[in-house]
Amino acid sequence: MSVDFLLHESALGYAIFKVVNQPDTIGNRLKEVQEAVQDLARFGKTVEIIGLTPFTGTQQALQEINDVSEGLCSDFLRSTLESNLPTSSKKKAIKLGVWDKNLAGSIKAVFANIKCETSESSPPVGDLLRGLRQHGDKLVKQLQPGDLERSVLGLGHAYSRAKVKFSVAKNDQSIIQAIATLDQVDKDLNTFTMRLRENYGWHFPELSKILTNDHYASAVLFIGDKSGLSEEKLHDLAAVVGDDESVSQAIIKAARTSMGREISSSDLEMVMSFAKRTDALSAYRKQLASYLSDKLNSVAPNTAALIGDTVAARLISKAGSLTNLSKYPASTVQILGAEKALFRALKTKGNTPKYGLIYHSSFIGKTGAKSKGRISRFLANKVSIASRIDNFSDTPTAKFGEALKRQVEERIEFYASGATPAKNSAVMQAAMDSVLADIDTEDPTAHAAEDVVMADGVTGKATEQAIREKKKEKKAKHAEEEVSEKKSKKDKKRKHADEDGEGKKKKKKSKA
């Protein structure tokens, strides 16, 4: 497919090239044609520059490159095309080669007589644009050596800074990295504690039955050789195991009658060194969990208050960002994390999953088996609302998340006992009033006009009822028509039968 002009976007400005020799469409994939694009001498005979509109500075270049990346035709690009392209008629439109498909659509919307071609619609156009990106600086004679490189470097730095600074307050990438690190630390900590239990269990096997993984490494560091444990260390041991004197008393009692063997000094040294590393990893895990909680309170406080820190962080990580999570519908949030089960169910035509990552929420465990699917759908709806509030609000607050959490708890109680939950409008209005009171701001809708009370028969329920009545009337008419048609057919058959009988009687009489 032939093309008349090419649009080349660079760090210097917009350049318009005219296609002098049309490329070969049939033999476009041949080796000779592809090598001709890479050769400057042969490619320079194919295109000819007719106009270059440079940017006035880095700020304008950054604004234009942002518009190009979003597929928007800016006023500067529009004036460039108007000044460099010839006027087209309705009979013959100008064919312009553009690299981006979305930008091509924007140009078509602005210029009715310009037909845009991209690499997807025309492979030769893609080869020509690729050649311009490779030889564009050499085809412009006014450029000095190094001008394009300096412009590209400055624009690249400005573009990267703008993307990084796009949302400083919504730094959800640290949440994604923190939850990934936390999951890895949990796996390593469980493995380390298991190895420590097996190693130290030869000396003091009863300790594994008394303590959980949380305080085991710190208790091993404190006890060391069990023979040195006495009543004098009761209070110090209680501080190590979470201020529980009953647990410390049980440990001291078990140490006296332990079935474990004696341990050598070299083995005890290795065990204590490993216990020290395990205890340090456990302390780092607590520090990382505290950091994740603080980060969520500043980035997504409502989502964290509704569903918990860990599940909220996993949802953000699975979605890629808080913005992506806020764009998802509730149906997607409900099965987020269960993609394999979903596609397997669609492939085998089985039952689709009811929940994904939100299954780890405490709400699902509280609900009965019959209502787990309904409460997961309701919870996903509230998570979707909370994530949108977090993403688009300027002042972080957890008021809405706490209100949504109470709604979920009331819905669980409704499924269990039938207690009527509060209305959503009343709950959200109370949360909004609380937020406005905290920031000392009046409700912007307080002095607005009241909602117009709709007349009878105009409401949604009345409209649906009217539609249902019309459908019933149509069905009744259709049924009556079918009954009348059947009656008419029966009457016709009877008439034909009577006529045939009379005819046969006449024939018999005539024969007689």
Condensed to tens digits (0 to 9), the pLDDT of residues 96-117 reads 888 788 888 888 888 877 888 8
Higher pLDDT, 178 or 5: 178
The one-letter amino acid at 333: V
Mean pLDDT of the chain: 81
d(CA 244, CA 248): 7
Give 36-85 pLDDT, tens digit per residue: 667 777 777 777 788 888 888 878 888 888 888 778 888 888 888 888 88
- The pLDDT, as a whole number, for residue 227 is 85
Contact 116, 104 (CB under 8 A): yes
pLDDT of 282 > 70? The answer is yes
User: In sequence order, what are the residues at sequence separation of 6 or more whose Cβ sits closer than 8 angstroms to the Cβ of residue 330?
Assistant: 377, 380, 381, 383, 384
Contacts 24+ apart (CB under 8 A), 91-94: 94/4, 94/5
pLDDT score, position 477: 80
Provide, rounded to the nearest whole percent, the portion of the chain with pLDDT above 70.
84
Q: With cut-offs at 50, 70 and 90, classify the pLDDT of residue 190.
A: very high
Nearest-10 crossing angle of helices 213-223, 173-200: 50
pLDDT over threshold 80, residue 20: no
Q: Which amino acid is at 311?
A: V
* Amino acid 442: pLDDT: 62
Is the pLDDT confidence value at 182 over 90? yes
Kindly tell me if the per-residue pLDDT of 25 is higher than 70.
Answer: no
Q: Is the pLDDT of residue 329 over 50?
A: yes
Percent composition of the chain: helix, strand, coil (DSSP 3-state, to 5): 65, 5, 30
Question: Of the given ranges (33-37, 227-231, 238-242, 416-420), which has the lowest mean pLDDT?
Answer: 33-37
Which runs of consecutive H residues, i.e. helices, occur in 244-392? 245-256, 265-299, 301-307, 309-319, 322-327, 330-334, 339-348, 362-366, 372-392
Q: Which residue reads 């024969």 in tokens?
A: 511
**pLDDT grade, residue 459 (50/70/90)?**
very low
**Phi and psi at residue 197, to the nearest 5°:** -65, -45
- Which H helix or E strand runs over 49? strand 47-54
Minimum mean pLDDT range among 10-14, 190-194, 279-283, 438-442: 438-442
**Secondary structure of 372-389 in the HEC alphabet?**
HHHHHHHHHHHHHHHHHH
**Residues contacting residue 176 through CB under 8 Å, at least 6 positions apart:** 313, 316, 317, 320, 321
- 3-state per-residue secondary structure call for 343-367: HHHHHHCCCCCCCCHHHHCHHHHHC
Lowest mean pLDDT among 87-96, 360-369, 393-402: 87-96
Query: Helix 265-299 to helix 309-319 angle, to the nearest 10 degrees?
Result: 70
Above 60 in pLDDT, residue 458?
no
| 511 pLDDT above the threshold of 60 | no
pLDDT band at 144, cuts 50/70/90? low
Beta bridge partners of 16: 7, 51
Pick 295 or 496 by higher pLDDT: 295
Check pLDDT > 90 for residue 307.
yes
Q: What confidence score (pLDDT) does residue 176 get?
A: 92
Give tens-digit pLDDT for 377-389.
999 999 999 999 9
Contact between residue 355 and residue 367 where contact means Cβ atoms under 8 Å apart: no
Lowest mean pLDDT among 75-84, 302-311, 338-347, 396-405: 75-84
* Domains with residue ranges and CATH for the chain: 5-166 (3.30.420.220), 175-294 (1.10.287.4070), 300-438 (1.10.246.90)
User: Nearest to residue 55, comparing CAs of 79, 24, 82, 32?
Assistant: 79
**C-alpha separations of 126 from 66, 119, 296, 408, 459 in Å:** 22, 4, 45, 54, 55
Q: What tens digit of pLDDT does each residue of 338-369 get?
A: 888 888 988 898 888 888 899 989 898 888 88
Q: Is the pLDDT of residue 455 over 50?
A: no
Radius of gyration of the chain (CA): 38
**Long-range contacts, stretch 442-445, CB < 8 angstroms, 24+ apart:** none
- In this predicted structure, what is the pLDDT of residue 166? 52
Q: Note the pLDDT of residue 27.
A: 54
459 vs 240, residue with greater confidence: 240
Quick one: pLDDT band at residue 502, thresholds 50, 70, 90?
low
DSSP helix/strand/coil, 15: strand
